[in-house]
Each structure stands twice: as structure tokens, then as C-alpha cells.
A and B are shown apart, each in its own frame.
Chain A
Amino acid sequence: MNEITQILLSPQGVGCDSEELMPLVYNDLRRMAAARMASEAQGQTLQPTALVHDAWLRMFGNGERRWQNRGHFFGEATEAMRRILIERARRKSRLKHGQGWVRLDIDELSLAEATPDDKVLLINEALEHLEAEDPERAKVVVMKFFGGLTNQEVAKILGVAERTVERQWAYAKAWLFQNIREQI
């Protein structure tokens, strides 16, 4: 168990404030980000710091925060990364398609023609549906897809078996794809 989770799980750690955690969390976020990017990046230069920095601002921008436990914390951390990545994808998508796009107009898009950024946005919209139906599985998707965590890490964070994470992730991917297809 790493340092930050130890703090978060210790009796005193419940409700401990962001200032204390900052350096630890920062390292962990960086590691999380690096892990995600390293997973499929052969021979590429990766700069996770900028992403982590943004995530950090999202989480701490509004002053002090308190987390109940590590699940809560990592949930928010990966959520923050999701928001950043989505914002960027939106921006790029808008540039590509011209201005004035606030939300992706699904009707005018077929999956085959969509850019990867568009697809990320589509997945995100489907994920919003999943969140409405089953927040627990949606959380796994956020951690896996946007947070770049491994099955093992997600399992530890959520306190479930690794096998469960694998099963939920596989199912969610199919569910999301189906949801996208239904909408296009």
C-alpha cells in the first residue's frame, strides 16, 4: 500500500485535509498519469505533468477538500482527469468542425467518419448514460479509461477482486459501444 492510501486509510486520515496530502497526492497523480500513458506508448515522449497539474487545479482550485477514503479520492482524481481530457477533445473537435459547436451533434455523425476526438466525446456521452443507470460500473470506466489505472489498481482502490474489475470493464465497453450505436 502506498503512502497516500496509508494516510487516507489511517484513523486520523479520515477527513485529513488537502494541504497535508498535497505532495503525496501529487506524486501519486503523476504516477497514475504516467502509468496510463506508458501502458501503450512505446518510444514516445510523455509529459504527464501538465495533465496532472490541471487535474490538481480541478480538485484543489476551490480551496480545501476533504476525502472520506481512497476510493473517494481516486474517484475524484480520475474524474478531474476525465473533465480535462474531455474539454480538450471538445476544443479540438470544434476546431476541426468549425466554430459554434457546443455539444457534439450526434445526428450528423457516423462513427466511421468521426475523428478520435469525436469518438472520445461519444464515449463520454454514453458514459453519462451508464452513470445514470449504474454509477458503480461507470466509476470503473472512468478509472480505467480516463484515469489509465490497471485492473489491479482499480481493484485495490475499490476494494474488490481484480477479476471483478476485469469483468465489469469488459462488459461496460460493450455496453457503451451499444449505447453509442443506438444513438447514431
Chain B
Amino acid sequence: MDDTLSREEEVFDAARKLEDPAERGAYLDRACDDDPKLRERVEALLSIHSHAEELFTECFSALRSSADNPESPAAERDLARGGEEEQPGAQIGHYKILQKIGEGGCGAVYTAEQEKPMRRLVALKVIKLGMDTRAVIARFDAERQALAMMDHPNIAKVLDAGATHTGRPYFVMELVRGTRITDYCDQNQLDTRDRLELFIQICNAIQHAHQKGIIHRDIKPSNIIVTLHDGLPVPKVIDFGIAKATEAPLTDKTLLTLQNQLIGTPAYMSPEQAATGGLDIDTRSDIYSLGVLLYELLTGKTPFDSKTLLQSGLDEMRRTLRDEEPQRPSALLTVLAGSDLTTTAARRHAEPPRLIALMRGDLDWIVMKALEKERARRYETANGLAMDIKRYLTNEPVMARPPSRTYRLQKLVRRNKVVFIATAAVSAALIAGLGTSTWLFLQEREARQRAVAAEHQQIRLTQDAERARSNEAKLRLQAEARERITQAEVLVSQGRFDEADKMIREVSPMGPSVEHAAVLRSLSEWHALQSRWTQAVDRFGLLLQVNQLDGWDQSSLDFLGCGVCLIESGAADHYDGFRQAGLFRFASTTNAVGAERIVKISLLESPDTTRIESLAPLARLAAESFATVDSHDTEASFRAAWGSVSLALWEYRQGHYAESIVWARRCLAFPDYNAPRAATAHLELALALSQTGQRDESLRELSQARQSIESKFNEGLEPGSAAQGFWFDWVFARILLREASE
């Protein structure tokens, strides 16, 4: 601290407390004995002391009243009505205001003339809400470079941002004259096909932005303007970058504001956007909003009613967006009141029954896939959504699928999400490296602890990754990866596997993804069918890291496929890690079929005793479930027959040969026939009978199995089906045949 000031302060402080002038004078004489300058300064301060106190008291009150009612809506409105309103002719920055062309919830839009560096007309949007201007502009500046990189005919560029002289943020945009998309479509009675064509253009624009690392965050009809170019409608997406810059935390208060302004943003908000207030958002949030827009273009309504959402309050709104399944478009139209439906149909140039029929099926599923609560289930990219619509328009099969029965069962998983994610993370940690050639080989005793550590690590990594998502560079990479997945998916659907394989080779797993899993599954199978086992193992390794959303049925089949490829590739040292991963994924399963599959694939090669012990709970579950079966229930019989194959192997690996024989014979006794399953059962009999000294019988079983298996592989392996057996069921049998032949 400055010594002079300190001394001055000390003397001043003592002196100001001495009210009697004589006493004060005497004190100053003493204190400033040898320093006349000090005395002079202190006396000056003392002379203004009371004025200073007055001033500060007054200002304190001024500040208090400023803080008291800082930016009340009333004050805001007064400001807006009064001298604050931008008048034609006024100058804002380089721009001269010409006329007001619109007034939205959060601001007014004007046409303006830019003078420098070039003369042109622009749209200028002044944000009205009481916002922290500096923060808004700083956020905009952060994204300015990325915004400048956007160049797309369906995107209106945001050119500039700044503060008006009254301290409000404004944005300058390319001037777009036209009608908001929903109005345009209704006024011109566009039919569904024309609406879809327009929508595809919007998807292309969003895709372009995503590849530049920009998320729109506020896709809704009022932000998509249709203009006419040579008589053709061209949709333009406006307001890029503005939502992010002006984003305020979502609170009940902002909800109230939205409500007063009668703008329906919450209706277009993805569940994760509503839940986290914009903290955890990636490109798939825009996909959701696109889904809402598509829904509205098709049916005239949003999946959830804006007003209801707004009035229900923040928590209820979040719950609705998170938990409630919206009606399919066709279902919504069906329950519309008669007159409503007639109007809706007329605006789409269609008869009501025809419109409903048109929606049902593909369009329903396309919309619902975009609107999935779980973003990993949505289309990976805007492009993917656009391509599916194109496929619909050209009568090709679409990628979106109705939820299957197993899928609906999956939804139960959501309720147990924490456990589910934790186990998925462990599996991922265990499996990590499979695709890149190194398996995690875990020592038996340490496995648990290390898995737990891995789980924590994984969760932390996931959190970190989520946090970093807002980072544009990362977003760009992700957008690129997603685009590759989408393109690979299309290539796969066209049977162009080698191109798809090249396309997806560089894509590293970004967490669970239905699309990514589907592509990897097809490619794993493609390699396996060509006996390229190492490549198949690589793709399977990645698949097991992203297939968590596919449910026990599909993912246990994925384990079966992966297991046989692993053994065929000769990577025996990785087999144990693989078994461990399967066990972790299914450790808490209550599903006997999943359990029996994991038991079977874990025992294809002879394990040590500790491994057998760890499988015991799964085997017990299967044994209890398949011990008694209603023979009239064909599905139950089918499952029990497969279960018996697994249990025969389970008993055999423990040296319980008699029990093994019982299960294998039981399998063969089921009325339905499945070739690879029967072959496997015969092999199990051959193995067990040989151990119990019944050599002739064993050889008979062996030759029966060999015949079946060799003829299958001679005629060529096919993907197969559940009823006939899959390719990996045959490979499984062939591996067991080698063991039995020794």
C-alpha cells in the first residue's frame, strides 16, 4: 500500500472524529508536525468530508432504485414506445433504417440500407428483451467466423452484429422477402409432395450449417421464409447464430415471457434442449426441430401444443418432452374434428381419407424417427432425413422403421437408464480396442475392480465429451462423421458394401447410435460372408461399442456373430476379453434367450473353471426357463430348442456328459426343424457320447452333422434368417465340428 496515502488516511480518520475544531487543530499540529503538505491535504479532505458523505448517500439511493426495478417489462415497454423505437431515417452503425417489416416476440425487424463497404439493402433485427448486450455480442463474435463460412442458397446470411445507441443488441442479415413456410404452403394449397420437396431443401441448408459446426437451435416456421425465384419457391433459413447469441437460461420466468409473446418456441424444442437449457446440445437437436417442422407441414399441428406446453410450467413441459410419445401424424389426423380435418386436407389439396392413408406407414415412421426422445435413435444427419424422404418420394424402401416388439420392450430400458448406461459403459470399456486390434485382456481377479474403475473413467469421459460438444471444431468433426454414417447407410442399402466400408472406416464410435450400429452390422456380416474374419472382427468390435440401443435380442446376436468371427480369425488371445464383455453386458439380464446366447458363445472354446463359474447365473436362468415348455406354443418351443443347445454345451464343458446328452436330445425332439441348430446338437451328442465311451453312436452323430455342415458351406453361406438360422449359427457349428473331429 502506498505509504503516503496510508499516512494521510490515518490522520484524516483520526481528525474527522474530533468534532471540536480546537482539538482537531491540536491533533493536526502534532500529527503533521514536519509535513505541511500532509496537513494541507488532510484539511482539504476534512473540508469536503460532509459533502462527500452527502453525495455518496444520494448516489447510494440512486443505485438502489436502479437495482430496485432494473429492467422491468413496463420500463422496457415504455422505452420501446418512447424515444427508443427506431424510426425510419435513423442511423444504426453503418445502417440507415428504412422501414419496419416485422415485429416478433424478441424484437423488431427493419429494412435498412447499408452504406459501407457497399450499398445494399439488409434486414436489421433489434433484440428487445432486456438482454446483456455485451454478452450477446461476445457470443455472436465467438461464432462469427463459422457463420461467415456458411454459403448456401437456402441460408440467409447473418452479416453483422452490434449495439444500438440505446444499448440493445442488433443483428444484420441478408434481406429475405417472403412468407413463412407454413403460411406459404397453406396459402398455395401445396400438396404433400410439394411440401416434402421444400422440406428437403431446408434439410440441405441445415446439413450445410452442421458441417460448418453451426447449430441453428431455433428452427421453426417463422425462421424459414419462402421466396420466389423465377416463380419457383425457395425456402431460406434465417436467424442462424442468433439463437445461440441471445440464449437465456430457460427458467419459469423466460417461459412466462415466451407465453406473453405468444411465440411457440417450446413446441420445437428438443427434449435435451428443454432439459439442459442449451448446455448439452448437438446437431441432433436441430434434427428434432426439423421433425417438428415436418410434422406441422404434414398435419398442420405440432406434436405437442405450444400453449399447453407453455401453460404447464417448466417442469411439466420438460416431462412432456422427455416422456410423452406424440401421436403419429396419421393418428393425429384421424382424431381431428371433422371440420378441422377437412380444412387441413383442403390446404394440402387432398381428400381427408386420402391424406390419412398417405401419412400412414413410411411418412409416419420418418417423422417419428426424427422426433425420437433419445437423440441416438434419430437420424444422424439432416441429410439422412432428407434422403429418407427422397426414398419415400421415389417409392424406395425407407430407413425409418416402425417400432418392433423388441424395440417397444426396449423402451422399458429407459426407466432403468442409469443401470443400463453404466453396464453399457463397462462393456464399451472392455470392448474398447477390439476394432483397433488390441483386446483388453483382463485378469480374472482384477476384472471387477478394473471394470468399476473403467466405468467411472468412462462416465467422466462421457461427461467431458458432452461438455465439449459445444465446441465448433468438434461439432464439425462430428457432423462429418455423422454424414459418413448416413452415406454409408445409403451405400449399404444399395448393396455397395465396399464403398460403404471405405466410407465408414475413419469413423470412430461417438456413443450409442442406431444408424451407426446398423451400418457396422451389415459390414461385419459382409466381411464374414467373404471369410474376411479379421476385418469382420474389427467391424464387430466397433459395433459392440455403439449397439446399446438395439436391445438384448439384436445385441446378443451381435455377440454371437462377433464370437465366431473372433475364433475364425485366430485371435484366440482376445477371446477371453470378449467373453468378459458379453458377460458384463448381460450380467443382470432377466432374459433367458439373451442369457443362453451369451452362455453358448462363451463356451464355444473350452474355458477354465472360473469362467464357467461366472457363467453359472446365466445358465441357471436359461435352464429354469427352458426346462418346461408348452409344446403348442411354437415361439416358446423354438426358443427352448435353441436354449437346449446352449445348455447341452454348458453341461458338456463341465464334464456332465449325461446331462449334456439329455439337453441335446431334447433339442432334436422339438418338432420344428432348424438345420444349423440340429447340426450343433448332433455335434454335442457326438462329443458327449465319445466321452462316455459310446464310440459308434458318437461317430454316427458326427457324420450326420458333418454332412449337413459341409453341404451348407459348399453351396455357399448366406445371411440367413431367424427361422432358418443365421450365417453365424453355421459358422458356430463348423467350429464345433472341428473340435468333434479331433
Contacts and interface: CB of A to CB of B under 8 A. Distances in A.
B68 A41 contact: yes
Nearest to B52: A177
Given A167-B13, A177-B52, A33 B67 contact: yes
Contacts of A54: 70, 132
Nearest to B139: A61
Interface stretch (A4-12, A66-74, A116-124): A116-124
B51 A88 contact: no
Contacts of A33: 67
A181 to B, nearest CB: 7
A37 B9 contact: no
Contacts of A51: 67, 70
Interface in B82-133: 83, 130, 132
Contacts, number: 120
A77 to B, nearest CB: 14
A171 to B, nearest CB: 4
A18 interface: no
Given A58-B132, A174-B49, A119 B70 contact: no
Contacts of A45: 68
A36 B55 contact: no
B381 to A, nearest CB: 27
Interface stretch (B57-65, B427-435, B484-492): B57-65
A171 B12 contact: yes
A50 B257 CA distance: 14
A116 B70 contact: no
Nearest to B45: A174
Contact of B9 (A90, A99, A168): A168
A91 B44 contact: no
B48 A178 contact: yes
A85 B63 contact: yes
Contacts of B71: 50
Nearest to B68: A46
Contacts of A25: none
Contacts of A13: none
Interface in A34-73: 36-37, 40-41, 44-48, 50-51, 54, 57-58, 61-62
A31 interface: no
Given A54-B70, A91-B167, A120-B62, A171 B44 contact: no
A126 B71 CA distance: 26
Interface in A110-150: 111, 116-117, 119-120, 123, 133-134, 136-137, 145-146
Contacts of A167: 9-10, 13
Interface in A141-163: 145-146
Contacts of A91: 166-167
A181 B46 CA distance: 14
A87 interface: yes
A116 B59 contact: yes
Contact of A120 (B46, B52, B59): B59
B64 A37 contact: yes
Interface in B28-72: 44-46, 48-49, 51-53, 55-56, 58-64, 66-71
A89 interface: yes
B630 interface: no
Interface centre among B8, B48, B58, B70 (most CB of A within 10 A): B70
B13 A37 contact: no
On chain B, which size bracket covers the interface? Answer: 35 or more
B138 interface: yes
A111 B1 CA distance: 31
A119 B83 contact: no
A47 B58 CA distance: 20
Nearest to B142: A62
Given A50-B71, A171-B12, A177 B61 contact: no
B53 A173 contact: yes
9 contacts: A46-B68, A61-B138, A89-B63, A91-B166, A116-B61, A123-B55, A123-B56, A134-B1, A171-B9
Contacts of B624: none
A29 interface: no
B66 A47 contact: no
A82 B502 CA distance: 58
A48 B67 contact: yes
A110 B722 CA distance: 92
Contacts of B166: 91, 94-95, 99
Given A57-B135, A58-B132, A58-B135, A99 B165 contact: yes
A170 interface: yes
B5 A117 contact: no
B165 A94 contact: yes
A35 B698 CA distance: 91
Given A134-B2, A145-B56, A177-B52, A36 B67 contact: yes
Contact of A44 (B9, B66, B68): B68
A54 B248 CA distance: 11
B180 interface: no
Contacts of A168: 9
A133 B62 contact: no
Given A171-B9, A173-B53, A174-B52, A100 B67 contact: no
Interface string B8-19: 111011001000
B58 A116 contact: yes
Given A50-B70, A171-B8, A40 B64 contact: yes
Contacts of B5: 133-134, 137
A173 B52 contact: yes
Contacts of B8: 171
A177 B48 contact: yes
Nearest to B70: A50
B59 A123 contact: yes
B516 to A, nearest CB: 30
A173 B55 CA distance: 9
A122 to B, nearest CB: 9
The 10 closest A-B pairs by CB, nearest first: A116-B62, A177-B52, A171-B9, A61-B135, A174-B45, A167-B13, A51-B67, A173-B52, A50-B70, A174-B52
A47 B59 CA distance: 18
Given A133-B5, A134-B5, A171-B9, A178 B45 contact: yes
A49 to B, nearest CB: 9
A176 B9 contact: no
B67 A85 contact: yes
A125 to B, nearest CB: 13
Interface string B433-470: 00000000000000000000000000000000000000
Contacts of A84: 70
A133 B49 CA distance: 20
Given A119-B58, A133-B2, A87 B167 contact: yes
Interface centre among A48, A91, A117 (most CB of B within 10 A): A91
A112 to B, nearest CB: 11
Interface string A77-112: 000000011011111101100011000000000010
B279 to A, nearest CB: 10
Contacts of B67: 33, 36-37, 46, 48, 50-51, 85
Contacts of A181: 48
